[in-house]
Amino acid sequence: MQNISATFEQLIESNAVNEYSMSYHRAHGFLTALTICPTNIKIDTIREAILGEGAVLANQDTRTLDKTICLLTDEIDRSFNNEDGFTLSCKEEQSNFTATIEEWCIGFMEAHFLAVDAWFKEHEQEVCELFIPVMLVSGLFDDEPEFSEILQAPSLVEDMRSQIPEVLMELYLMFNSPEDARKKNVKSKV
């Protein structure tokens, strides 16, 4: 994953795309959400979300970024099926972990907003509950009364932050279980 991260960061930095371009961690969160809840979002839409609206890359850089996006998405999917379980792109040992995981969660939520209906088509209540740690850590909902109350208890915030990998695994299994795959295959044959 180190090479994927380096390639991604080099593409973004060398092209000085724009101030709205996603960092590697934010893009990782974004692509994790798209991996968990498979949607039909086109690569052009994904690329525009990652680069920021109106950003333009040279053709070769566009192909490299598209390939990097696919490689990272595959890596994320494999990590959900790995014996060790899913791991975030940011580590608690990092000095800027709090800011980095917040960025990661913002990216996750941005992908969620692109395909809200797909997330809530089935299992709406469970999905809402599982989203709470990611929503809290993203900081996007700090003004909401429920979240501002939780933010007053640092140990609860830390507990929720530590639950994120487990929550993501539960979401992944909910949307990608063999039973769900069979349902999708039956529907596509009808």
Tokens 């961690």, located at residue: 25
Tokens 């063999």, located at residue: 178
Give every CB contact of residue 58 below 8 A, 6+ residues apart in sequence: 15
Q: Averaged over 16-22, what is the pLDDT?
A: 72
Band of residue 179 on the pLDDT scale cut at 50, 70, 90? low
- Say which CATH topology domain 2-185 has: Four Helix Bundle (Hemerythrin (Met), subunit A) (1.20.120)
Give every CB contact of residue 174 below 8 A, 6+ residues apart in sequence: 123, 126, 127, 130, 180
Tell me the per-residue pLDDT of 63-87, one tens digit each, with 9 for 90 and over. 988 999 999 999 999 999 988 888 8
Tell me which residue of 20, 11, 26 sits closest to 64, measured CA to CA.
Answer: 11
Q: Taking all residues of the chain, what is their mean pLDDT, rounded to a whole number?
A: 85
Contact present, 94 and 87 (Cβ < 8 Å): no
Whether 122 has a pLDDT exceeding 90, the answer reads no
Cα(139)–Cα(152) distance, integer angstroms:
13
Cα(100)–Cα(94) distance, integer angstroms:
9
Whether 27 has a pLDDT exceeding 80, the answer reads yes
Q: Averaged over 47-75, what is the pLDDT?
A: 87
Burial 116-139 (b: 16+ CB within 10 A, else e): eebbeeeeeeebeebbbbbbbbbb
Cα(45)–Cα(83) distance, integer angstroms:
32
Parse the chain into domains and list their residue ranges: 2-185
Percent with pLDDT over 70 in the chain: 88
Tokens 């052009």, located at residue: 44
SS3 88: coil
Q: What is the pLDDT of residue 97?
A: 83
